[in-house]
Amino acid sequence: MPKLQTLYLFSYNFLQFLGWTVALFRILSNFMSAKSVNGAYASAGELICLLQCCAFLEVIHGAIGIVPSGVVLPLMQWSGRTHFLLAIVRQIVEVQELPSVFITFSAWSLSEVIRYSHYALSCIGGPPYFITYLRYTAFILLYPIGVWPGEMWLMYQALPFIKRENLYADSLPFSYYSFIKVLLLLYPLLWLKLYLHLFKQRRSKLGKYEKTKKI
């Protein structure tokens, strides 16, 4: 890999790691000080929105081939999260203090701190085994927690507000309320596709370490 490309990927992943670390710190600090889960968006929401928007670069990275991730799965994950953040959480003030926001943001932040630290270290010689193990193991709990009691539950809780405000009626040719109901039905299938892909990655990556140890 050319040095300039490696430097760019390291810088991108390190900055994302720092950003998500700050987000996690803000969420936990607010939780500890307020003794409440209601302030997750106020403490870190705008930062998380920024980090998630910047993550579109990962779709481009896969498209131009500087990382082997491809385009489809990164685009699925990016578009799902970004829609959840910008179209629902950021637009509907009434849902911003729900516990499901705290659950989602906490799960996302933990998983991204692990993921980006692994990616950044991979650019400069390789991460220690425990980081790799966390990268391909923590998702087993964090991913379903972030999706089921987090994203899906919040979207369900947002439905009355979407219907009451007739959200996006002026800008969409279809009912956004109906769209979210359909999306909630499809979400488990889309989630399962990504989840099974992560297990496939886990077998591949951790299997290499096991083979290396035997040698």
Alpha-carbon Rg of the chain, whole angstroms? 18
CA distance 64 to 87: 28
Residue 174: both structure tokens together: 């279809």
76 CB-near residues (< 8 Å, 6+ apart): 190, 193, 194
Give the integer Cα–Cα distance in Å for 134 and 141. 11
Q: End-to-end alpha-carbon separation of the chain, Å?
A: 26
**Catalytic annotation, residues:** 143, 151
What's the CA gap between 98 and 105, in Å, rounded? 11
